[in-house]
Amino acid sequence: MTSLLILPILIPFACAVASLLTWRSLATQRVLSVVGAVTLLGIGVRLLAAVRAQGILVLQVGGWPAPFGITLAADLLSAVMVLVAGIVAVAVAVFALGSLDAGRERFGYYPLFHVLLMGVCGAFLAGDLFNLYVWFEVMLIASFVLLVLGGERPQLEGGVKYVTINLVSSAVFLAAAGITYGTVGTLNFADLARSAATLPHPGVARTLAMMLLIAFGVKAAIFPLFFWLPASYHTPPVAVTTLFSGLLTKVGVYALIRIFTLAFPVDAVTQPLLLTVAALTMITGVLGAVAQHEMRRLLAFHVVSQIGYLIMGLGLASPLALAGAVFFIVHVTLAKSALFLVGGIAQRLRGSFELDRLGGLYRSHPWVSLSFLVPALALAGVPPLSGFWAKLLLVQAGLSGSHWWVTGTALAVSLLTLFSMTKIWAAAFWSPLPEGATATALAPRQMLLLGAPAAALGLLTVAMGVGAEPAVALAQQAAAQLANPAAYVAAVLGAR
């Protein structure tokens, strides 16, 4: 079953190569896009089932034993993230068929789509810092080209900000990896967990942890390193924005969880810092969202705000908090992706993302309105949807640890999230169509391609909420593995 570990990387790579070889046939590339995404989803399901049944899976690439060779490892968190990547990939692949213009298709959207998925899955399965860096760079290259594909001025402006700050992040990441190797003598996560604790000076470990916090914090868009995200995520087509919001920032959060539970565990020094960053990320993100009047910008700021909840779970560091973070990362990926897709549908129907130019969607397209309402309420944490249970776990963890202020912040931000979602609902869906605004009718096939992915993601948030017990149990199992790194260390260093 360890061969499953290479497939989430190999399948997108093969689809990217096949898309390049069929450059002149857009029809073939479209088919490859959907087939590759569905196959990745199927592999994600099998990988999660295998990890639940057999425990942590490890593959030593080339037969070189850890920590000397390249290690691919999948615990429950990695397997869940690969599965979520497959879900988002399928939704975006189908949505792109009905929304993407031929110009962007001809200039390489489909190969880049698969290369990005390869980088994302590689990062989730990487067993050492250097290869995590490699997969981050694969993602950076693919995401930058996707961001500016089309060459529109807002895209280029957003792309410059995006690539500049991410190159700085990559430089800090590479420097941290070099110093880590020079100090500890290894980059393998399992070996780091065993060796970092023996460092003679605790300040060295904390310095390395802070460098990695900066590097991954930029990728995750935490405070105060988030400014590039709302400046760039609203510029590309919705299919690209959804892919970015659903996966790229979550890779940064995943890397932070991996580092701060395995190599440099949260301690009395780093915990207050992480909780402060979490609170400020939540506050600045939601306040930025409340001030927006353009749907994509508003949702982009909410990407930042929701990252704060994940950092809160990491900072609290208890098994319950980590379970909340695992549950939350799945919930928010599904809900945010659905909201961006519905925003794209609204733009197709009304010709604008500006809230004052939208309206009347509830009367003309009730199913589209429902596809927005469900994930919007889930994002705000309204019971019994997925967001309620995710936030309940985090709030319980915060209260049990007497972290009153960050828990209060999380609850207040939930109210502001509900307010901003109500703002979109009132302007775009409930209010009548403004004078001078235009309404466009879409062909049934195009409406199906656009609406089905958003509706499916919304239904998944309902399923996670109504059937919360097995989802929470899975999150708790993943958190138990994170809280007990000895099992990961034994699986990696004991595998030959």
From first to last of its 496 residues, the chain has per-residue pLDDT tens of 667 899 999 999 999 999 999 988 999 999 999 999 999 999 999 999 999 999 999 998 877 877 888 899 999 999 999 999 999 999 999 999 988 888 888 888 999 999 999 999 999 999 999 999 999 999 999 999 998 887 778 888 888 888 888 888 999 999 999 988 888 888 999 998 888 777 767 778 888 889 999 999 998 989 988 888 888 888 888 999 999 998 988 999 999 999 999 888 888 888 999 999 999 999 999 999 999 888 999 999 999 999 999 999 999 999 999 999 999 999 999 999 999 999 999 988 888 888 888 888 888 888 999 999 999 999 999 988 999 999 999 999 999 988 999 999 999 999 999 999 999 998 888 888 877 667 777 888 889 999 999 999 999 999 999 989 999 999 999 999 999 898 999 999 874 4
- How big, in percent rounded to 5, are the helix, strand and coil portions of the chain? 80, 5, 20
Q: How far is CA 193 from CA 4, 212, 480, in A?
A: 25, 15, 16
CB-based contacts of 436, cutoff 8 Å, min separation 6: none
184, two tokens: 């500890």
Q: Is residue 55 part of a domain?
A: no
Q: What are phi and psi of 73, to 5 degrees?
A: -135, 140
264, 258 Cβ separation under 8 angstroms: no
The one-character DSSP state at 236 is S
3-class SS of residue 291? coil
At residue 426's C-alpha, the angle toward residues 421 and 310, to 5°, is 0
How far is Cα 375 from Cα 364, in angstroms, rounded to an integer?
20
Nearest to 409 by CA among 419, 426, 394: 394
Q: Is residue 365 part of a domain?
A: yes
Residue by residue, DSSP assigns 330-350 as: HHHHHHHHHHHHHHHHHHHHH
> Residue 496: its pLDDT value, please?
42
How far is Cα 61 from Cα 10, in angstroms, rounded to an integer?
13
482, two tokens: 């994170």
**pLDDT tens per residue, range 181-222:** 888 888 999 998 888 777 767 778 888 889 999 999 998 989
Name the residue range of residue 406's domain.
266-483
> Residue 1: its pLDDT value, please?
62
Q: Is residue 38 part of a domain?
A: no
Q: How far is CA 426 from CA 6, 118, 414, in A?
A: 47, 39, 18
How far is Cα 60 from Cα 168, in angstroms, rounded to an integer?
31
Q: Is residue 207 part of a domain?
A: no
Helix (H) or strand (E) holding 61: strand 57-61
> Residue 231: its pLDDT value, please?
82
Whole-model pTM?
A: 0.95
Question: Amino acid identity, residue 202?
Answer: P
**pLDDT tens per residue, range 376-396:** 999 999 988 999 999 999 999
> Residue 288: its pLDDT value, please?
93
Q: How far is CA 286 from CA 2, 171, 412, in A?
A: 42, 30, 10
Q: Is residue 63 part of a domain?
A: no
Q: Is residue 395 part of a domain?
A: yes
Q: Is residue 184 part of a domain?
A: no
How far is Cα 2 from Cα 19, in angstroms, rounded to an integer?
27
Nearest to 219 by CA among 254, 192, 265, 267: 254
> Residue 377: its pLDDT value, please?
95
Task: State the first-to-last Cα distance of the chain, in angstroms, to the nearest integer.
Answer: 14
The count of residues in the chain is: 496
3-class SS of residue 17? helix
How far is Cα 446 from Cα 485, in angstroms, rounded to an integer?
48
342, two tokens: 């519905």
Q: Is residue 149 part of a domain?
A: no
| Count of domains forming the chain | 1
How far is Cα 378 from Cα 461, in angstroms, rounded to an integer?
7
